[in-house]
Amino acid sequence: MLDKFNNNRKSSKDSVIINDRIRFPKIRVIDMEGEQLGIFTPKEAIILAEKEGLDLKSTPPVCRILDYGKYKFTQEKKAREAKKKQHIVNVKEVKMRYKIDEHDYKVRVNQAIKFLHSGDKVKVTVNFRGREIQHSNLAIDLLGRMANDLTTLAEVQQKPLKDGRNIIMILSPKKVIN
């Protein structure tokens, strides 16, 4: 009865050892209610499991008689629940030029604040055109000013770094300690 299920039950990504795949000389067997039945050879334990119409799962060297389909379903359900609780951190970008006006600068700071409040990292990029790259020190000062304005909300994860015709700085939200 179990042989027809064995072909369907073991996929390449399953790491669970069940039924005929158990290769231990002696195993401790536990039934569905959690009671210990004793120490058996794998063949004897498989016969016990077949009598109940269930499978034998090995977590070396203890084997438990269980419904493998139900076990697999609960494991997948736990994995889905864990995935729901994850928070994916996105990297949002704020672009500007080094000759930015005060009002425009404040708009960019407000954008960064909004991104940081939502828990995202902020990549601040100052881009140059033509010969403006000669004034990279002004862009580094501008990025330092932005980092200083956002010290209450963010910490500098990556200091200003030249990247071709851009200077990039990455800010990450500060951890809230409760």
Higher per-residue pLDDT: 178 or 74: 74
pLDDT of residue 14: 60
As a CATH number, domain 2-82 is: 3.10.20.80
Region 10-15: mean pLDDT is: 53
Give mean pLDDT, residues 41-53. Answer: 86
DSSP string, the chain: -HHHHHHHH--TT---EEGGG---SSEEEE-TTS-EEEEE-HHHHHHHHHHHT-EEEEETTEEEEE-HHHHHHHHHHHHHHHHHT--PPPEEEEEEETT--HHHHHHHHHHHHHHHHTT-EEEEEEE--GGGGGGHHHHHHHHHHHHHHTTTTEEEEEEEEEETTEEEEEEEEPPPP-
CATH code assigned to 91-173: 3.30.110.10
Structural domain spans, the chain: 2-82, 91-173
Output the pLDDT for position 176: 67
pLDDT band at 32 (very low <50, low <70, confident <90, very high): confident
- pLDDT of 34 > 90? The answer is no
